[in-house]
Amino acid sequence: MPKTIFREYDIRGIFPIELNEQTVKKIGFYFAKEVLKRVPTAKYISVGYDARIHSPQLSEWLISGINHAGLEALFMGLVPTPINYFSNFTNFFGKTTSASIMITGSHNPPEYNGFKITIDKQPFFAEDIYSLGDKVTSSDITIENNITSISIDAKEQYVNYIVNEFKNLDLKDYSFVFDCGNGAAGAVLGEILNKLNINHKIIYEEPDGTFPNHHPDPSEAENLEDIKNELSSNKYALGFAYDGDADRIAVLSKKYNFKGDILALFFSKFIDKPIVVGEVKCSQIMYDIINSYGKAIMYKTGHSNLKVKIKETNASFAAEVSGHIFFNDRYFGYDDAIYSTFRALELISNGFDYDSEYEKLPKLFVTDEININTTEERKFKIIEELKEKLLNPPADFPIIKDIITVDGVRVVFEDGWGLIRASNTTPKLVTRFEAKDKDTALMYQRKMLNLMEN
């Protein structure tokens, strides 16, 4: 078992090669021991899984490890990741959880799976995950099968919560289309829409871990073709698409795909003196406009990083370009694409016109996120070397106004910016460039990539 399955934000690997019986049992055991160490009164860990075909098997192995450590699992079956997070904030017949584990491969290929983890409502990540990995990989403990658990209906409580929160939406004159991508969103979305009497069509609603229609990653354009075709019929005011575990959203009109930073800008307009945390890939437009009536904070990419920053700053919400939206305003500060859907619909109910508001924004050109393959060993070293080169760039390099190193290197130029950062989850470098026009953005891209390659 390679240690590389223990990543910055979660645990993720290939089933059953990396995520095999003994490994997963040990993960459950040593994590439960850590829960008892931090929360001595702990009794329960809530466990749910996504639509992947091997998720039920992983849940049995994981629960066996939890039981071996002396805790019990509150088991919710197939749910979106946000419902697993939601379990930390509710009560199940007098039983409250001290931690949660969501079994999910998110948007990875079907052979992948993994675990997203919290303790005491806070993300379990970075050094915590690496330390857990050390214990698991060095252990020779044998754990017997024991899949005893306590079944809970977390889905029902979540649906009722969302319906109550958005019961006053006035959308009778609109219809919307949704693409669940055969992921976990389909387990709850239709029921909520029906209870709120929202006119809708759902495509690929049935959870199916083979993902027979398209891959559940709405950040890739080819995965949005079907919902774009639906929108072209002019029947729908907006379209929504989700990743495999429904913690990430795409919002589209017939004309535009509204990325996470633009959605953040729209949401902020309806919050008094908003504090918004954005990642380093977010548009400068978002930061500048929000700072004109609130406060925008640039921080590291990654769902765990942003959850911690929300708590530290008491932010209204946080956002990633990829579609993770973390509402702390009227919610619990974690990324939930289902909840974000209804906040987006709420804007329409309040008279907001997505297309016209988008067209009022300053016009800038931004590249798609470009990934460059490298190795786990080299990726962070390359960033450090790039920082050194930027201290004394070539004579023909664009004028540098500022260098932001909160996560990788974001270089601010006279007419835009460029970003190169190391991915925390894959052996890749991630780049993005924004400028007043396409030629300038591509020039910044060329200059920065040339400097890095040299």
CATH code at position 108? 3.40.120.10
Determine the average pLDDT of the residues in 426-448.
Answer: 96
Phi, psi of 112 (to 5 degrees): -90, 155
Residues 373 and 354 in one domain: no
Final residue of a structural domain among 152, 186, 214: 152
Which pLDDT belongs to residue 119?
A: 98
Mean pLDDT lowest among 8-12, 27-31, 167-171, 445-449? 8-12
Residues 101 and 182 in one domain: no
CB count within 10 Å of CB 217 equals 24
| Alpha carbon distance 7, 115 (integer Å) | 10
pLDDT higher than threshold 80 for residue 425: no
Residues 122 and 231 in one domain: no
Give the DSSP H/E element, type plus range, for residue 36: helix 21-38
Residues 163 and 134 in one domain: no
Determine the average pLDDT of the residues in 83-100.
Answer: 96
Strands (E), 165-214: 175-179, 199-203
Condensed to tens digits (0 to 9), the pLDDT of residues 334-352 reads 999 999 999 999 999 999 9
pLDDT higher than threshold 70 for residue 378: yes
pLDDT band at 1 (very low <50, low <70, confident <90, very high): low
Residues 161 and 261 in one domain: yes
In 3D, which of 251, 298, 303 has the Cα closest to residue 279?
A: 298
The pLDDT > 70 percentage for the chain reads 100
CB count within 10 Å of CB 17 equals 11
Residues 184 and 65 in one domain: no
Report pTM.
0.96
Determine the average pLDDT of the residues in 11-35.
Answer: 97
Which pLDDT belongs to residue 396?
A: 96
- Catalytic machinery residues: 12, 106, 324
Determine the average pLDDT of the residues in 94-123.
Answer: 96
pLDDT band at 438 (very low <50, low <70, confident <90, very high): very high
The CATH number linked to 439 is: 3.30.310.50
pLDDT higher than threshold 90 for residue 265: yes
Which pLDDT belongs to residue 453?
A: 87
Report the phi/psi class of residue 77: left, alpha or beta, with left for phi > 0 and alpha for psi in -120 to 50: left
| Alpha carbon distance 33, 41 (integer Å) | 12
Residues 414 and 299 in one domain: no
Residues 186 and 220 in one domain: yes
| Length of the chain (residues) | 454
Strands (E), 144-294: 150-151, 175-179, 199-203, 238-242, 249-252, 257-258, 275-279
pLDDT band at 259 (very low <50, low <70, confident <90, very high): very high
As for how many domains the chain has, the answer is 3
Final residue of a structural domain among 359, 394, 411: 359
On average, the pLDDT of the chain sits at: 96
Final residue of a structural domain among 333, 359, 385: 359
What is the rounded radius of gyration, in angstroms, for the C-alpha atoms of the chain?
22
CA dihedral 431, 336, 6, 107 (to 10 degrees): -60
Residues 92 and 178 in one domain: no
Residues 205 and 267 in one domain: yes
Residues 143 and 197 in one domain: no
| Alpha carbon distance 38, 119 (integer Å) | 8
Domain region containing 59: 3-152
Condensed to tens digits (0 to 9), the pLDDT of residues 312-332 reads 999 999 999 999 999 999 999
Q: Beta strand 122-123 with 112-119: parallel, antiparallel or unpaired?
A: antiparallel
Residues 84 and 224 in one domain: no
Determine the average pLDDT of the residues in 285-298.
Answer: 98
